[in-house]
Structures are given as structure tokens and as C-alpha cells.
Amino acid sequence: MAYNVLVGIGGTGARVVEAMVHLCAAGYGPENLSIFLIDPDESNGNLTRTKTLITLYNLCRQSFNPSKAAEKQLFKTNIKIPETLVWKIFKDKNTTLSYYINLKTMTKELEDFASVLFSEVELNTILNEGFRGHPSIGSVVMSDPPQDEEPWTVLWDDIITQKQNDVRVFLAGSVFGGTGAAGVPTIGSQRLIKYNDKATIGAGKSRVLLGGALVLPYFSIEREDETDEKMYVTHYDFPIATKAALQYYNEKQLGFDQLYFIGDSLNQKIGKFSVGSMSQENQPHYIELVTALAATDFFEQPPLEGDPEKLYYIACRDDDSVTWESLPVSRNEQEIRQRQIDFKARLVTMSAFAYTFCTYGKDTLDKPHKDINDTWYREHFRFDENKEKERVKNPRWGENKTQLENFEKFLKHYYLAWLCSMDDNSDKVRLISKSKICEGSIQIGKEINLIDYNKKKDNLGDFLKEKSKKEDFYVFINRFLNSVNITDEKTLSAANKYINIFYEAAMKFCAHNYHIQ
């Protein structure tokens, strides 16, 4: 079995990892996946959000026991992370480039040479909040990572048992900023991973199959006030930075076996300008989802024998609208249609499951056990709440309660918030309709206001921006939730029963209402 590693570099890389984790939760990820992140700005809002998401994913997966119908779907992927998830590059705070290269101890000749390569601002700007759109700085400080320390050891754990091309490493980052633009080509050089001494098997052969996504400009940032910072980047700098980066990739012999070029021309706004730190937290964008799909395509390709052919992938759509059918899901033309159906089914089912679980499901748990007469509940949750030994059968008690609270937090504060954030309220991105699921502003990881299903019962059957049967919430309950029967699956805890009942009902509802299997 191939060993898969996803490395998110910089802010875009962190958001690609975020998208990948949501794909894994929906059942559209590889069987196994190791993840680590690279960013000098460890307090970056994008990074913090992704770190919290992965931790919560693993909490949910570790406690989840799927029913027969949900097996190999919900939270399918075994995500492994090192204890030190982020390589923050600098061990000391307030590090500058001049401090890092020991400028003061250099000979006069070398000091003069450094001043030719870098301006005074570049040499003396504190770098703990990132490289501010100056990849020339990042390439210097990232060229010699400590590969015997975490998180780099993720790459080399048990590598000796792997065959040629069995360790699949995918680097994701932008080519137009600072950290990603510096990190992807630097980490993707031949010597750091592809032909590292630990990876090579004789001359010219490697256990590592190296892939990467070069994410081209795809967003703009709201700029309200001037900043006192002397070194920073705005979206106006992206085109020239991209041109220089692509010229570099064209001229250099890097270690990549397969590259995906990903970008967008819609130029959507994803947040306010920030130099870095906690205030740099951008809204999710569908391009990050596309990049996660590229990584999935890379990880899921058949085993490769011998020396891999150098491959480059580019996909395009017919017009400026983004639909489920326009998302690139496979390099194999014969597999595209089936994978599109599978991908759509997994995410739409996950969305219906999340919404119903966090609204009607939560309301049901908030009621006293004795007051609930719903068929599906009475069939699966039979216990005397006055008997202490039967408390374990109560989904509101002890570990059951904790597990359901973790699921609600993941589904509501992270998954649904991420999903809805990709809808920009235009007719351009035609995936889901945010207004059918939530209302008000969205901040991932925080409380969001889900639409009241009692007042808007038709929304569940109409949250895709395409034709459907428009079945309402009561059809979901009476026809699909009440038809689920997992009473014979005795090993399921009360919490796992509760989760699986809603997931199976969502599967059947979406197959019927949205014409997907």
C-alpha cells in the first residue's frame, strides 16, 4: 500500500489541507494520509484554523464506529500527524534575514555581496510573520530543513520498507506569495526529498513519487487602511510574481514527477488585507477544494513500476461558472464521469447529514427521553433512564454526549462553515446555496446560525444550485429517517447509533432528491 504525505506550505497550503480534511471526512480521501505544514508565521489564522480542524477530525474518527452502510465513507481516512505539526523554520522569535545568515560575522566582501542580493528592508524585517511576498528570502532559510526532527520525520518513518514510487509526497502552495512561492520549489528540489539519501534506491531511483500543485492567483484582498509595515504584498503584485515563478519552474530541473497547475480568473475577495499573524485568516475558496482534488488524484493513481514519466496537468471549464461537473476529479478520461458522481454524492450527503444532525438531531437530544415519540428514536433507543446500568444506552450521557458534541462542533463550526464560505452569493460558483443552510456572517470555528428547518422546511431538498425534487424536511424524517434500521448492529454505542442513523438517512434522501447514487 502506498504511503501518502500531504505538505501544506504557507497560507494557501494550509487552506488546501483544510479542504482535504473535509474531503476525508466526507469519505473522498485516500485510505491513509500523513500531513504536516510549513509556515514561519505559526500564529497565522489560516494555520491555526487548520491545526484545530485536524485535531477535531481525529477526535471524531477515533470514537466513530460506522454501520455497515456507512463503512468506508464517513471519516474514512486515517490521518496521521506528527506531534510537531508545523515546521515554523525559525527557532528564535524576532528573526531577521541578517540574523539568520550571521551578517555581522561575515567578511566585508560577503557582507557587501549580501547587500547586493537583498535590500536593507529585506535584511532587517522580522520574518516570524512570513516572507511578505519575497520568496528570495524564504528560499534561503528553507534550503536546509532539519530532516531528523519533527515534522520532517513523517517522510522517513518506515521508508526502508517501501519500494520505488511507494512514498507519495504532494506539496501544495501558491506561486504568488512568499512562503508558498519560496517553499514549493525549494522543498521540491531534487536533493531535499526526491533524491534524499533516505529515499534513493540505487542510482537515479527513488522510493518517493513527488507531486505538487502550483496554485496560481485566484483571489483578491480588501485593502482598507495603509500599513506601517515596509515589506508586504497585495494582490496587485500577484501577476508579476507569478510570471517570475513560472519562468523559474520552466528553467530549473526540480524533483517533481507530476505537477498540477491550478488557478482562477474570477478574482473573488476572500478577506481583508493582513501582513500576517492571527488577523490573516482568509475565507475558503473553491480553488483550494480543486487543489485537494488534485492531491486526491495523485494519491489514488495506480502503482507505478520503474522510472516515472514527467507529467503536467491542466484542466479548464467551458465558461466562467463553476459547477459540480466542471470540477476536475481525475486524470483518466474514462473515470471522470463516475468519479464526478462519487465526489458529488459524498459531499452532498455529508452536507445533508451535517445540516440535519446539527438542527433536528440537536433539538431531539435537547428533549427529555420520555417526551420523544419519533419512530426512528423509539426503535433504536430503548432504556430506563432511572436505572444507572442503562445510562450507557442514553446518547445524552457520558462518553456518548462528548462524542456527539465533538461531531456537532466539527460538522457545524467547521464543515458547514467551510462549505457555505465557498458560495460568494453570485451565479458564478454553482455548488451549494449558502442561504439555504445558514444566515448571517460566517467565521470558521465559531458559532454559525443555521436556518430553522421548521420555518424553511423546503431548504433541505433545494440547497444545490441545480434541479432537484425539492423534497422537504418532513419527507426526510418520515420517509428516510424512520426507514433506517440498525437495531441488529449490537456493537454500536448509543452515540454511534445516533450518528449512523442520520448519515444513512442523508444518503438515501440525497440519492432520491438530488438524483445521485
Distance CA 73, CA 381 (A): 24
Give 463-466's long-range contacts (Cβ < 8 A, gap of 24+).
463/351, 463/352, 463/355, 463/432, 463/433, 463/436, 463/437, 464/324, 464/348, 464/431, 464/432, 464/433, 464/514, 465/427, 465/430, 465/431, 465/432, 465/433, 466/323, 466/324, 466/430
Provide the CATH number for the domain formed by 3-90+143-315 in this structure. 3.40.50
What is this structure's pTM? 0.90
User: Is the sign of the CA dihedral 383, 387, 389, 395 positive or negative?
Assistant: positive
pLDDT value at residue 229: 52
Query: Please, which residues have CB within 8 angstroms of residue 55's CB and are 6 or more apart in sequence?
Result: none
10 Å Cβ neighbour count for 134? Answer: 24
Domain positions in the chain: 3-90+143-315, 340-513
Q: Which residues of 333-361 are buried (b: 16+ CB within 10 A; e: fewer)?
A: eeeeeebbbbbbbbbbbbbbbbbbbbbbb
Residue 352 corresponds to which cell in the numbers above? Answer: 445533508
Q: What is the DSSP string of 247-260?
A: HHHHHS--S-SEEE
Contact 198, 35 (CB under 8 A): no
Indicate the DSSP class of residue 166. -
In the block, cell 451535517 appears at 354
pLDDT value at residue 112: 84
Closest CA to 351 of 173, 510, 127: 510
Please give the C-alpha separations between residue 115 and each of 21, 107, 124, 127, in angstroms, as whole numbers: 43, 12, 11, 17
Peptide bond connecting 82 to the previous residue in cis, omega within 30 degrees of 0: no
Contact 160, 199 (CB under 8 A): no
pLDDT value at residue 281: 62
pLDDT value at residue 263: 82
Distance CA 49, CA 415 (A): 12
Residue 264 corresponds to which cell in the numbers above? Answer: 482562477
pLDDT value at residue 276: 45
The torsion of the CA quartet 64, 68, 73, 75, rounded to 10 degrees, works out to 10
pLDDT value at residue 279: 43
Residue 165 corresponds to which cell in the numbers above? Answer: 514510487
Closest CA to 259 of 305, 220, 309: 309
Contact 282, 270 (CB under 8 A): yes
Distance CA 8, CA 79 (A): 14
pLDDT in tens, the chain (517 residues): 789 999 999 989 999 999 999 999 999 999 999 999 998 877 777 788 899 999 999 999 999 999 998 888 999 999 999 999 999 888 877 788 787 778 888 888 888 888 888 778 878 777 766 676 677 777 788 888 999 999 999 999 878 889 999 999 999 998 877 788 888 988 999 999 999 999 999 888 999 999 999 888 776 655 555 555 544 455 555 565 566 556 666 667 889 999 998 888 765 555 444 444 444 467 889 999 999 999 999 999 998 888 898 888 887 777 888 899 999 999 998 999 999 999 999 999 999 999 999 999 999 999 999 999 999 999 999 999 889 899 999 999 999 999 999 999 999 999 999 999 999 777 788 999 999 999 998 988 888 999 999 999 999 999 999 999 999 999 999 999 999 999 888 899 999 999 999 999 999 999 999 998 6
Distance CA 410, CA 52 (A): 10
Contact 476, 504 (CB under 8 A): no
Q: What is the DSSP string of 363-379?
A: HHHTS-GGG---HHHHH
Q: At what angle do helices 10-25 and 286-300 cross, to 10 degrees?
A: 70
